[in-house]
Amino acid sequence: MNTILWLHGFPLTNAIFAKQLAITGVEHVMPELPPLESMDDYARFAIGQLDLRGIEKATFAGLSMGGYICFAALRLFPERVSGLILIDTRETADTDEGRKGRQEMIDKAEQEGVAPIAEAMLPKMLTPTVPPELKQFVRDVMMSCSREFVIAALRAMAARPDSSAMLPSVAVPTLVVVGEEDPITPTKDSERMASAIPNAKLVKIARAAHLSNVERPAEFNEAVTQFQT
């Protein structure tokens, strides 16, 4: 049975993948990411999660920041990666402006905690018309993050390398999924990745923003199911 290792984004927890447990025929591994210093450290943590379970290879599924971890894992441990599912993410590094924004968020988190980060990110995660209970669920997930994880993740994302050059050499089956209304990693990012990775499949999910797997779980899960078969 194939294993999918689900790597969540920022500022989120593994609870964000709850709806993906409905995907059958695979073993799901959904670790909670701890505060670490770099994407390479997160990749080593991910491999450690497989080692704990005696799993040799897995499909690495990364949402946003989780996608950055996927690229690090593919670079450091290519023999452990049997496939990629890149969800609302991008392969490029932060711009200078992006790094400045991350530092501002670090400063705010250090002074005020997680709440202002969650409130700033929430409108970008979901489309405006989502049911109130779904919006509250995502808010609760973000608010459950530790200040330490939020700050560490921001620093790791700001320092991550550009992975563009490795895309043409990706030799594993790859699925790229993006919400058509994602303001954080727009569809052009996913189109660029999918065109650079040999034989990658691109799926755009209508009426979804950055959390396409949460907002449209049926469509997302169907895309993953088709990819696995």
Distance CA 212, CA 87 (A): 8
Q: Is the pLDDT of residue 229 over 90?
A: no
**Mean pLDDT in the chain?**
97
Closest by CA to 83, choosing from 198, 195, 189, 4, is 4
- How much of the chain, in percent, has pLDDT values that exceed 70? 100
pLDDT at 119: 95
What does the pLDDT read at residue 85? 98
pLDDT band at 81 (very low <50, low <70, confident <90, very high): very high
% of the chain at pLDDT higher than 90: 99
36: CB partners within 8 A, 6+ apart: 42, 45, 152, 156
Query: Token pair for residue 161?
Result: 């390398």
Average pLDDT over residues 94-121: 96
Using 50, 70 and 90 to split pLDDT, how confident is the model at 1?
confident
pLDDT mean over 55-80:
98
Using one digit for the tens of pLDDT, what is the confidence trace for 17-35? 999 999 999 999 999 999 9
CA 92 to chain centre: 14
Question: Over the stretch 109-165, which tens digit does the pLDDT of each residue have?
Answer: 999 999 999 999 999 999 999 999 999 999 999 999 999 999 999 999 999 999 999
Residue 160 is predicted with a pLDDT of 98
Instruction: Look up the pTM and report it.
Output: 0.97
Q: pLDDT digits over 176-195, tens only?
A: 999 999 999 999 999 999 99
Domains and CATH numbers, the chain: 3-95+151-228 (3.40.50.1820)
Confidence (pLDDT) at 7: 98
Query: What tokens were used for 194?
Result: 């999918």
Amino acid at site 118? A
Contact 63, 88 (CB under 8 A): yes
